[in-house]
């Protein structure tokens, strides 16, 4: 159980992040959710989190902004206690073939999906080290392992997260802090809702489990990696993809 521990879930007010936040709250953690701009989703998620009996609050915080994310992490520590669990889940897509992909679209995806995780780890890790217990889980993607035409920016960011995860795992292992990644396959959220029907059908045909994943499938894997039982697992990339990227 995670009673008395404070977690931050970035992008925690919709989709996979919300499912993770709720799962951690059910395990007893106090939860801070960071979001980009969807205040209605933030209010709804916080209400759901509070119903579980834990402390919970949302912060509008662009994780790609070093100073803003530092300030928000300090506020979380002051209001909810030292951060011992960090789930870097915030992510965006700006898809396009290399021929048409703008420099701005490349940079933005890297800034949010990869640099944002670096910022958050940098702001949180000393709090975990002081407690000699911490958990970092970075949400990458099977696309970071396999590549995907039309997603060079996204795949580069997600592959980068794997390197970041393994490096931090090595740096922090001796201090009781684990750092792992979870690589979802095709999960039913707003992000994948935007895909054209044809692309969805093509993806489905490649999934041995013959179904789209649910946010809760990912949340349960994250909860396991955060648990005491997973204390000897670090630097791992756990696919949650129904066999898609075997």
Give the x/- contact pattern for ligand NDP in 36-55, rule: CB under 6 A: xxx--x--------------
Q: Is 138 in the site for ligand NDP (CB under 6 A)?
A: no
Q: What length is written for the chain? A: 246
Q: Which of 29, 56, 63, 121 binds ligand NDP (CB under 6 A)?
A: 63
* Complex with ligand NDP: residue 68 or 173, whichever CB lies closer: 68
In 4-142, where do the E strands start and end? Answer: 6-10, 30-35, 56-60, 83-88, 134-139
Q: Which of 27, 127, 165, 189 binds ligand NDP (CB under 6 A)?
A: 189
Stretch that binds ligand NDP, among 94-102, 127-135, 184-192, 227-235 (CB under 6 A): 184-192
Active-site pick, 106, 125, 154, 186: 154
Residue corresponding to tokens 């205040």: 39
> Is 35 in the active site?
no
Q: Cα–Cα distance between 34 and 70 in angstroms, integer? A: 12
One DSSP character per residue, 161-187 reads HHHHHHHHHHHHGGGTEEEEEEEE-SB
Contact by Cβ (8 Å): 24, 5: no
* Complex with ligand NDP: residue 129 or 204, whichever CB lies closer: 204
Stretch that binds ligand NDP, among 23-31, 85-93, 127-135, 145-153 (CB under 6 A): 85-93
Burial class from Cβ neighbours inside 10 Å (0-12, 13-18, 19+) for residue 180 reads buried
Residue ranges binding ligand NDP (CB under 6 A): 10-11, 13-17, 34-38, 41, 61-64, 89-92, 112, 139, 141, 184, 186-187, 189-192
């Amino acid at each position: 159980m995670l009673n008395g521990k404070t977690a931050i879930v970035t992008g925690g007010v919709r989709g996979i992040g919300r499912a993770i936040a709720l799962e951690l709250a059910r395990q007893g953690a106090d939860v801070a959710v960071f979001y980009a701009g969807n205040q209605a989703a933030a209010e709804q998620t916080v209400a759901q989190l509070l119903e579980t009996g834990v402390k919970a609050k949302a912060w509008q915080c662009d994780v790609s902004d070093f100073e803003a994310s530092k300030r928000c992490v300090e506020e979380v520590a002051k209001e909810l206690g030292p951060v011992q669990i960090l789930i870097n889940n915030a992510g965006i897509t700006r898809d396009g073939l290399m021929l048409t992909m703008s420099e701005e679209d490349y940079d933005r995806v890297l800034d949010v999906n990869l640099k944002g995780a670096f910022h958050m780890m940098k702001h949180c890790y000393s709090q975990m080290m002081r407690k000699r217990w911490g958990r970092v889980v970075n949400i990458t993607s099977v696309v970071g392992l396999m590549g995907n035409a039309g997603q060079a920016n996204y795949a580069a960011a997600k592959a980068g997260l794997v390197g970041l995860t393994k490096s931090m795992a090595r740096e922090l292992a001796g201090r009781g802090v684990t750092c792992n990644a979870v690589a979802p396959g095709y999960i039913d959220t707003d992000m994948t809702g935007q895909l054209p029907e044809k692309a969805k059908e093509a993806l489905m045909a490649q999934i041995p489990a013959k179904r789209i994943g649910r946010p809760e499938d990912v949340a349960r894997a994250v909860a396991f990696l955060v648990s005491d039982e997973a204390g000897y697992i670090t630097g791992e990339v756990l696919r949650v993809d129904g066999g898609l990227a075997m």
